[in-house]
Structure formats: structure tokens, C-alpha cells
């Protein structure tokens, strides 16, 4: 079993055929491309309520609707 794990961990270090390493500038370009823009993260600046009852009270007081972001199932997607 240890020999199998050793072999598998060694194979993980071998680059896949057809794939070359990328340069630092290419990595930085890819990172910038994959990083969301600040305008895409505006929802982080909202004053979210995590308690539904408090959200209902606040919505009634301020005369605003409730946006409910709800999920069913395991939070990590494990079922």
C-alpha cells in the first residue's frame, strides 16, 4: 500500500503531456483574469441580516422587501 501511495504521489509531480510550465507574467495575467472586479463584489458591502426574524422586522420598519438567499442540502455539497 505504501509503495502504491509513493508511486501515485510521484506521478503527481510529473507534468501532464502537452502542458508546459507558465511564466510568472503569464501566471499574473491569469490571476488578474480570474479575479472578480470590484464592481462584481458590491454585494459584500451590503448590510446583510443572517437572522430571518430580524430581517423581517427591519424590512417592515424600513418598508423594504426581503431578498432571501437560501440553500437546501449540505453546505459543502456533500450528499
Q: What number of other Cβ atoms are within 10 A of residue 8's Cβ?
A: 9
Would 14 be classed as within a structural domain? Answer: no
Task: Give the count of domains, the chain.
Answer: 1
Q: Indicate whether 10 pLDDT > 60.
A: no
Would 40 be classed as within a structural domain? Answer: no
List, in order, residues 6 or more apart from 65 with CB less than 8 Å away: 59
Q: What is the pLDDT of residue 62?
A: 95
Task: Compare 40 and 14 and report the one with higher pLDDT.
Answer: 40
Nearest to 49 by CA among 73, 71, 75, 69: 69
Nearest to 58 by CA among 44, 50, 42: 50
Q: How confident is the model at residue 20 (pLDDT cuts 50, 70, 90)?
A: confident
List, in order, residues 6 or more apart from 59 with CB less than 8 Å away: 65, 66
Domain holding 62, by residue range, is: 47-73
Would 60 be classed as within a structural domain? Answer: yes
Q: How confident is the model at residue 17 (pLDDT cuts 50, 70, 90)?
A: confident
Would 53 be classed as within a structural domain? Answer: yes
Would 12 be classed as within a structural domain? Answer: no
Amino acid at each position: 500500500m505504501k509503495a502504491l501511495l509513493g508511486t501515485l504521489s510521484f506521478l503527481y509531480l510529473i507534468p501532464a503531456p502537452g502542458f508546459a510550465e507558465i511564466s510568472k507574467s503569464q501566471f499574473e495575467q491569469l490571476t488578474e483574469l480570474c479575479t472578480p472586479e470590484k464592481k462584481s463584489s458590491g454585494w459584500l458591502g451590503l448590510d446583510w441580516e443572517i437572522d430571518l426574524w430580524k430581517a423581517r422586522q427591519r424590512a417592515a420598519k424600513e418598508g423594504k422587501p426581503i431578498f432571501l438567499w437560501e440553500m437546501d442540502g449540505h453546505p459543502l455539497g456533500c450528499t
